[in-house]
Amino acid sequence: MAPSASESAGLVQAGLWRQNPALVQLLGLCPLLAVSGTAVNALGLGVATLLALLGTNLAVSLIRGFTAAEVRIPAFVMVIASVVTSIELAMHAWLPALHAVLGLFLPLIVSNCAILGRAEAMASRSDPLRATLDALGMGLGFLGVLLLLGLLREGIGQGSLFAGAGALLGLPGLEWQFSSHRFLLAALPPGAFILLGLLIAARQAWLARRASLQTIPIP
């Protein structure tokens, strides 16, 4: 049975907010922190991860009835590796400059716990449509946090946004240099930890504030 509109929205919203892989489950932190130095790098890896999640969840859902329980994890890893390799080859062919910048972090998508986790927890137990919606929400949630972190680190650390978009993506119109002042800490690895921690704290503070408002009795 196809999911209702409310169920479909709930599957997507779960990945975007309630079960966000970066802010809630804290999965995929290695690429999240390492590649978010600039917005372009963050966007490239985020889109690649989104496509890997979509391809993996769909494939796992389609083969779930033919995969024995004893070999399901190795089978899922093979599926993930195949999808990620296809994405890497496509990026190498069409976006070689971005592929060179991302380097090892593209094949390392295979080891992203979020992808294997969704394959096991959702795709192997759901029909293709629900599995795809789950992957869409999780992928967009990861992409959103990765891109936001990239924008913050680049903006604070370098005074620019989407620097290198012309050379890496062929989109020079995205580049924006708005300040000559730089705060080097934001561009360094410790800045990634600090900014991610602030994003997590901001989310928790918003949830706590919302919960407190809901418990205030109405006179």
The predicted-structure confidence for 166-215, as pLDDT tens digits, reads as follows: 988 888 888 999 988 889 899 998 999 999 999 999 999 999 998 888 87
Distances (CA, A) of 39 to 91, 140, 152, 173: 17, 15, 8, 14
User: Structure tokens of 139?
Assistant: 């992928």
Domain map (residue ranges) of the chain: 7-215
Q: By 3-state DSSP, what share of the chain in percent is helix, strand and coil, each rounded to 5?
A: 80, 0, 20
Residue tagged 């329980």 (tokens): 69
Nearest to 20 by CA among 127, 118, 132: 118
The Cα 44–Cα 48 span in angstroms is 6
The yes-or-no verdict on residue 161 having pLDDT over 90 is yes
- Rounded alpha-carbon distances, angstroms, from residue 122 to 14, 19, 115: 12, 13, 10
* Calpha distance 93→89 (Å, rounded): 6
Tokens in use for 60?
Answer: 């796992």
Q: Are 119 and 112 in contact (CB under 8 A)?
A: no
pLDDT average, residue stretch 123-150:
96
Task: Give the pLDDT score at 217.
Answer: 61
Structure tokens at 175: 């580049």
Q: Which residue has the tokens 């418990």?
A: 215
The one-letter code for the residue type at 16 is L
pLDDT tens digits for range 12-27? 999 999 999 999 999 9
Mean predicted lDDT score pLDDT of the chain:
92
Neighbours of 82 (CB within 10 A): 14
Return the pLDDT at 171.
Answer: 86
Lowest average pLDDT, out of 87-91, 106-110, 212-216, goes to: 212-216
Q: How is 170-184 classified by DSSP, letter by letter?
A: S-GGG-EE--S---H
For the segment 16-73, what is each residue's pLDDT rounded down to a tens digit? 999 999 999 999 898 899 999 999 999 999 999 999 999 999 999 999 988 888 899 9
pLDDT at 98 over 90: yes
pLDDT band at 77 (very low <50, low <70, confident <90, very high): very high
pLDDT of residue 145: 97
